[in-house]
Amino acid sequence: MTSKSKNLPSALNEWHCLLGDNSMLVGEPAAIQYGACTTPVQRSIPAALLPTSQEQVVALVKIAATYKVPLYPISTGRNWGYGTANPVVDGCVVVDLSRMNRIMDMDENLGLVTLEPGVTQRILNDYLEERGLDFLVPVTGAGPNCSLVGNALERGYGITPYTDHFTAVTSLEAVLADGSIYRPALTGLGGEAVDQAYKWGLGPYLDGLFSQGSFGIVTKMTIALARRPETIQTFFFSVVADNGLESAVGAVREALRATTGISGSINLMNPQRVLSMLVPHPSRETGLTGAIPTETVTRLAREYQVTAWTGVGALYGEKKIVSAARSVIKGKLRPYVQRLVFLDSASLRRGKGLLGIIPRQLPLSGKLSMMAERLDATLNIMEGHPSEIALPLAYWKSGSLPRQGMDHDPARDGCGLIWYAPLVPMVPERVRCYVEMVKNICPSYGLDPLITLTSVSDRCFDSTVPLLFSKNNLDEAVKAQECFKNLFEAGQREGFLPYRLGVHSMELATEQEGSYWDTVRRIKKALDPGCIIAPGRYEPGCHLGKEETD
Ligand code: ADP
């Protein structure tokens, strides 16, 4: 990297001529703005560039290529739990695309939106509301200020009908390491409209290279949006005893299979995960180990009527179809789960229903209103409205919540969070094996096993386990990192592997031998021989200096 840092001042001069003072940060201001992270990682970030157009991205990439200075593109850089805005390796100049936040086109007939990388969940939501357009924003728990492009590129998922966010991407444009622009084949042949309407295009499917890849800077993306349906019904259920998990998993699989296209994802959460939404962290009771003792979990669960597993899902569609799907779900789930309730959000908004349902489950009035508030926010997210409801989780163990009126920003607020997010086959015994693995490993590092299983199809769950720790405590941070590594390795032995990695954990996968990473290395060498774009991001070569040409 020495030759690269020697060239940095010359590159900075040229970028300054291109962008001016207000569109770049150099030295400490860049390190402060982009270095904050919820994981123990902090990379050295010499500068950040904030282009406002694709032309500027092309020009700045050419400068980077001339001086061999590596770049790290981010859309909004809120990749909390996976590295925030930190590059995978030291010395990269961050390319912050958040000022490129135009919605370039919205085809109301086809439900296709074409947008720039800085467009956030909030910006799209406002755009749709202002125009009275009835589409769902592909929301995630990361909240209103996060980009749609960054999440789709990381293959994030939500709970609304178009669950898998990269599946919904039909077309994209990217600036390659030599400053040329990648456009899909159909667009190149003059068929931009069909290209945007048809995901696979023509010829080898290359758009996918840019998701979880380091082959270009994506400057434009078309996303299919789900239409707001006539009705949305959210359902909740409980699995009272832990030994009911296996049959509940089988029932969930059958329910999803029978309602494909109507049902969004179904989530299953263990007591610790549900309690993290309901009670302050009982830190006085954690003792020396750091994890909440089983007796405390049992007591709190009893007090708040939290069962061994809590399930939540939603049905989307025309009233008649949803009503039929509801009967199907009841038929599939009722024999195996308890307290199955359906909530029609429209009637809830009118104030009916809620009080009829909650008192039976939670007869304590102070807790009732809090529960109702949380429920309302949960329904909001099911309905495709961006919400910060999931963000307090990051603050549960370590941070104090932001002041009233301020947005949540776990990295800024010093929260410690690493996500472990493995895929688990939807096979009851495999799910049990996975759950026991997490329950055994986390407490041995002083961490609570907060387990969610989210269906990503009727064949597979993705599980999310937030490893929460105090960033001020070095020992806790080290343990959280070690815990992640242990989970990764134990999971690998059992066949549970993450769908996504953080900047702290790329190497755990990319440094393993195999034809896949070898192919990635060869593509990287062909497209980006100077390792200009996001070195080390889901690729094994650049950060080891193997590809340096001088
Ligand atoms: P968000 O703020 O929506 O959570 P980020 O902007 O942090 O998402 O993006 C997540 C990751 O995806 C980044 O760390 C980066 O590696 C990659 N990425 C984001 N936007 C782009 C882009 N426009 N082009 C190429 N890679 C990107």
How much distance in Å is there from the Cα of 22 to the middle of ligand 1?
Answer: 22
Q: What is the pLDDT of residue 441?
A: 98
Model confidence band, residue 372 (pLDDT cutoffs 50, 70, 90): low
Sign of CA dihedral 355, 356, 361, 365: positive
State which of 49, 75, 137 you would mutate to test the pocket of ligand 1, scoring each by most atoms of that ligand within 8 A of its C-beta: 75
Q: From 164, 166, 179, 163, select the one nearest 219 (Cα to Cα).
A: 179
Write out the H or E segment, with its range, that includes residue 461: strand 460-470
Residue 329 corresponds to which amino acid? Answer: I
Matching CATH topology for 231-395 and 415-502? yes
Atom of ligand 1 nearest to the CA of 120: 3
Residue 450: φ, ψ to 5° = -95, 105
Is residue 286 over pLDDT 50?
Answer: yes
Sign of CA dihedral 341, 342, 346, 347: negative
Is residue 248 over pLDDT 80?
Answer: yes
Model confidence band, residue 370 (pLDDT cutoffs 50, 70, 90): low
Question: How large is the average pLDDT for residues 173-190?
Answer: 98
Question: How large is the average pLDDT for residues 38-65?
Answer: 97
How much distance in Å is there from the Cα of 142 to the middle of ligand 1?
Answer: 13
Model confidence band, residue 288 (pLDDT cutoffs 50, 70, 90): low
- Ligand 1, atom 7: closest residue by C-alpha: 77
d(CA 491, CA 225): 34
Residue whose structure tokens are 């343990």: 479
Is residue 549 over pLDDT 50?
Answer: no
- Ligand 1, atom 9: closest residue by C-alpha: 150
Question: How large is the average pLDDT for residues 128-139?
Answer: 96
Residue 326: φ, ψ to 5° = -60, -40
d(CA 10, CA 192): 39
Q: What is the pLDDT of residue 121?
A: 97
Atom of ligand 1 nearest to the CA of 146: 3
Contact 5/93 with Cβ under 8 angstroms? no
Instruction: Give residue limits of the domains in the chain.
Output: 8-98+523-548, 103-224, 231-395, 415-502
CATH architecture of the domain 231-395 equals 3-Layer(aba) Sandwich (3.40)
Residue whose structure tokens are 């400053």: 179
Q: What is the pLDDT of residue 371?
A: 64
Strands (DSSP E) found in 11-70? 24-26, 47-49
d(CA 539, CA 113): 30
Q: Is 444 left (phi over 0), alpha (psi -120 to 50) or beta?
A: alpha
Pocket lining for ligand 1, CB < 6 angstroms: 73-79, 97, 117, 142, 146-147, 149-151, 153-154, 217-218, 534, 537
Is residue 362 over pLDDT 50?
Answer: no
Which 3 state secondary structure label does DSSP give 137?
coil
Q: What is the pLDDT of residue 351?
A: 54
State which of 71, 78, 151, 154 you would mutate to test the pocket of ligand 1, scoring each by most atoms of that ligand within 8 A of its C-beta: 154
**What digits encode the pLDDT tens for the residues 90-100?**
999 999 999 99
d(CA 517, CA 501): 15
Atom of ligand 1 nearest to the CA of 97: 23
Is residue 145 over pLDDT 80?
Answer: yes
Q: What is the pLDDT of residue 547?
A: 43
Q: What is the pLDDT of residue 285?
A: 82
Give the CATH superfamily of 415-502.
FAD-linked oxidases, C-terminal domain (3.40.462.10)
Q: What is the pLDDT of residue 407?
A: 92
- Ligand 1, atom 15: closest residue by C-alpha: 74
- DSSP structure class, residue 21: G
**What digits encode the pLDDT tens for the residues 236-245?**
999 999 999 9
Return the minimum-mean-pLDDT range out of 196-200, 267-271, 396-400.
Answer: 396-400
- Ligand 1, atom 8: closest residue by C-alpha: 150
Contact 80/142 with Cβ under 8 angstroms? yes
Q: What is the pLDDT of residue 350?
A: 57
pTM: 0.94
Q: Domain 103-224 belongs to what topology?
A: 3.30.465
State which of 58, 74, 155 you would mutate to test the pocket of ligand 1, scoring each by most atoms of that ligand within 8 A of its C-beta: 74
Mean pLDDT score of the chain, rounded to an integer?
Answer: 92
Q: What is the pLDDT of residue 400?
A: 81
State which of 45, 146, 153 you would mutate to test the pocket of ligand 1, scoring each by most atoms of that ligand within 8 A of its C-beta: 153
Is residue 36 over pLDDT 80?
Answer: yes
Atom of ligand 1 nearest to the CA of 77: 7
d(CA 236, CA 408): 27
- Ligand 1, atom 25: closest residue by C-alpha: 217
Is residue 546 over pLDDT 60?
Answer: no
Residue 335 corresponds to which amino acid? Answer: P
Which 3 state secondary structure label does DSSP give 474?
helix
How much distance in Å is there from the Cα of 499 to the middle of ligand 1?
Answer: 16
Model confidence band, residue 359 (pLDDT cutoffs 50, 70, 90): very low
Residue 374 corresponds to which amino acid? Answer: R
d(CA 340, CA 327): 12
Is residue 249 over pLDDT 90?
Answer: yes
Atom of ligand 1 nearest to the CA of 174: 24
Model confidence band, residue 459 (pLDDT cutoffs 50, 70, 90): very high
Q: What CATH code would you report for 8-98+523-548?
A: 3.30.43.10
Contact 125/381 with Cβ under 8 angstroms? no
Let me know how many helices (H) and strands (E) the chain has, helices first: 19, 17
- Ligand 1, atom 14: closest residue by C-alpha: 74
How much distance in Å is there from the Cα of 357 to the middle of ligand 1?
Answer: 41
d(CA 319, CA 325): 10
Contact 49/93 with Cβ under 8 angstroms? yes
Question: How large is the average pLDDT for residues 353-376?
Answer: 56
Model confidence band, residue 105 (pLDDT cutoffs 50, 70, 90): very high
d(CA 465, CA 325): 30
Strands (DSSP E) found in 17-168? 24-26, 47-49, 71-74, 93-96, 103-107, 112-115
Contact 134/226 with Cβ under 8 angstroms? no
Contact 18/33 with Cβ under 8 angstroms? no
**What digits encode the pLDDT tens for the residues 256-278?**
999 999 999 999 999 999 999 99
Question: How large is the average pLDDT for residues 285-292?
Answer: 78
Q: What is the pLDDT of residue 383?
A: 83
Return the minimum-mean-pLDDT range out of 161-165, 221-225, 507-511.
Answer: 161-165
State which of 61, 79, 408 you would mutate to test the pocket of ligand 1, scoring each by most atoms of that ligand within 8 A of its C-beta: 79
Residue 447 corresponds to which amino acid? Answer: L
Atom of ligand 1 nearest to the CA of 151: 3
